[in-house]
Structure 1
Amino acid sequence: MQPDTIVAAQTLDFSLLALFLRASVTVKLVMLLLIAASFWSWAIIIQKHFDLKRAKEEARDFDQAFWSGEPLDTVFEKLGPEPKGGAARIFAAGMTEWRRSHRTDGGLIAGAQSRIERAMNVAIGREGETLQKGLTYLATVGSISPFVGLFGTVWGIKGSFEEIATQQSTNLAVVAPGIAEALVATGLGLLAAIPAVIFYNKLNQDTDTTIGGYESFADEFALILSRQLDRNAA
C-alpha cells in the first residue's frame, strides 16, 4: 500500500456517526428507518412482557377466588361489572349470559348452554386480540429488516462504484468509506431483526399459553354450568 493511501485512510473518521453523516440521503433514510423500527420493537417487547406478566398474575388471583368454594353468584358480585383480568372477564361473560337465560318464573330459556359457551368464546377472542396486539409488528420487523438493510448496502456500494468511476481511481481511501457506510445499513438491519424474531417467538408462545389457560377455564366453567342445568332440568 502506498504511503499517501495509508495517510488518507488514517485521516478518515470511521465512527458510526461519521459513517452516517457521510452516507447518501437514501442510505441515511434506510438507517433511520431501521433505527426507528428497532426502538419501536423494543417498546413493544417491554410492553408485552408486562402485559403477559400482569395477565398471569390476574389469572392466578382469579383462580384462587373462583375455587375458594364460594357460590358463583357471590364471586360474580365481588368482581363487579368491570372485572380485572382476562379469566375474570370470561367468567363475567358466562355468568351474565347465565343470568339472562333465566325467565321471570325462574326457568331457563332453551339453548342456554350454547349461548353461555358462545359468550365465553367471544370474550376469549377479545382477550386473545389484546394479548396478540403488536406481535404482528415484531414478526414483520424480524422478516423484512435484513432485506431493508441489504437494500441500503447495495445502494451504498453502488455509490462507491460511482465514486470510483468519477475519480478514476481504485484507491482504498476512495472505496473504503462508501463500503463501510453501506455495511452499517446491513448491521442495523440485523440489529433490528434478531431481537424482534427472538422475542416474537417467546412472546407468541407465552400468549398461546395464556389463551390456552383461558380456554381451559372456560371449558371447566361450562362443565360446572352444565351440571347445574341438568339438575334444574331433572
Structure 2
Amino acid sequence: MVAHADIIVQSVMGGLVLASVLTWTVALAKTFELMGANRRAREGLGILAGALNLGEAARGLAGKPGAAAALARTAAAELATSDGAQREAVQERVGWRLERIVANAGRRLSRGTGLLASIGSVAPFVGLFGTVWGIMNSFIGISRAQTTNLAIVAPGIAEALLATGIGLVAAIPAVILYNAFARAITAHKALLSDSVAETMRLLSRDLDHPNRAQLRMVAE
C-alpha cells in the first residue's frame, strides 16, 4: 500500500515514521538522563543529611556532578563571603540562589520533552491530512474510471486510512511518554527541594554557631 500510494501520502507516512523514531530516541535518552539525575540527587541528599555543617557537606560533595553538589557549594560560598551580614540577609540570598539552581535543573531535564508534546498533538492531524488527500485521489480515480467498483476504490481508501493509522501510532506513545516524563521531572524537583531544605538547615546551623568566622574559613 505504501509503494502504490500517492507521493503526498507517502511523504506524510515518511514524516510520521520519522516522528515515531524521534519519539523513541528522545524517550530512551531522557530515561537514562533522569535515572542518572535521580541517582546523583539521592546520593547528594544522603550526604547533606549526614553532614554537620556546610563545609563538611561541600567537602563530601566535592568533585561530584549534580544539583545537590551545586546547592552545597553555592550555600558555602555565600556564607564565606557574607562577613558580618545579618542572618536574615544571608538566608534570603542563599534561598534565591538555591531556587535558581533547582529551576535550572528542571529546565535541563525538560529539554526534548517539548518535541514529544508537539508530535503527540500534531501527528494525528498530519495523518488525517494524508487520509483526506488519499480519499480525494480515490474519488478522482472513480470519476476517471467512471465506475464505482469496490475493487477500484478500495486500494486508494486503504492507503489513505493507513496514513491515519501511522499518525496514531506516532502520537499515542508521544503523549504517554510526555506525561510520564512530566511526572518524573516533578518528582525529581521534589527530591531537589529536599536537598534545598537540608542545605538551609545546615546554613541555619552554621549561622547559629558562636564562631561564624571559623566556619567561613572551613567553607572556603
Q: TM-score, normalized by length of structure 2?
A: 0.88
Matched, 1:85 2:69: no
- What residue in structure 2 maps to residue 57 of structure 1? 39
For residues 20-68 of structure 1, what are the alpha-carbon distances to aligned partners after superposition, in whole Å with 9 as ceiling and x for unaligned?
A: 1211121111111111111001011111111111111111222222223
CA contact under 8 A between 2:71 and 2:196: conserved in structure 1?
yes
Q: Is the aligned partner of 1:201 residue 2:179?
A: yes
User: Percent same amino acid among aligned pairs?
Assistant: 38
1:25-36 alignment, distance < 5 Å: 25-36=7-18
Any conservation in 2 of the 1:98–1:112 contact (CA below 8 Å)?
yes
Q: Which stretch of structure 1 is more off in the superposition, 214-223 or 67-76?
A: 67-76
Q: Which has the higher contact order (CA 8 A, sep 6+)?
A: 2
> Which has the greater radius of gyration?
1
Q: Secondary structure at the match of 2:107?
A: helix
Q: How does 1:67-146 map to 2 (within 5 A)?
A: 67-80=49-62, 83-101=64-82, 103=83, 107-108=84-85, 111-146=89-124
Deviations 1:62-84, CA, capped at 9 Å, x for gaps: 2222223454313313433x531
The one of 166, 170, 177 aligned to 1:192: 170
Q: Distance in 2 between matches of 1:222 and 1:123?
A: 14
With over 3 angstroms needed to count, the CA separation of the structure-2 counterparts of 1:222 and 1:75, relative to structure 1, is closer
Contact 2:47 2:61 in 1 (8 A): no
Q: State how 1:146-157 maps to structure 2 within 5 Å.
A: 146-157=124-135
Unaligned runs of 5+ in 1: 1-18
Counterpart of 1:214 in structure 2: which amino acid? L
Task: Judge conservation of contact 2:74–2:97 (CA < 8 Å) in 1.
Answer: yes
CA 1:159/1:232 → structure 2, altered by over 3 Å: closer, same or farther? farther
TM-score, reference length from structure 1: 0.83
Deviation sequence 1:71-130 (CA, Å, 0-9, x none): 4313313433x53122222232222222222x3xxx336722111111111111110001
Question: Would the aligned equivalents of 2:53 and 2:203 in 1 still touch at CA under 8 Å?
Answer: no
Distance, in Å, in 2 between the alignment partners of 1:117 and 1:232 is 22
Name the SS of the counterpart of 2:85 in structure 1: coil
CA deviation profile, 1:157-211 (whole Å, cap 9, x unmatched): 0010001011111122211111111011101110001111111111110110101
Is the contact made by 2:71 and 2:199 (CA closer than 8 Å) also made in structure 1?
A: no
Q: How many residues matched? A: 211
Unaligned regions of 5+ residues in structure 2, if any?
213-220
Over the aligned positions, Cα root-mean-square deviation in angstroms equals 2.1
CA shift for structure 1 position 232? 5.2
For residue 233 of structure 1, report the CA deviation from its aligned partner: 9.8
Report how far residue 133 of structure 1 moved. Answer: 1.1
Structure 2 counterpart of 1:23? 5
Contact 1:97–1:119 at 8 Å: present in 2 too? no
Q: How does 1:172-191 map to 2 (within 5 A)?
A: 172-191=150-169
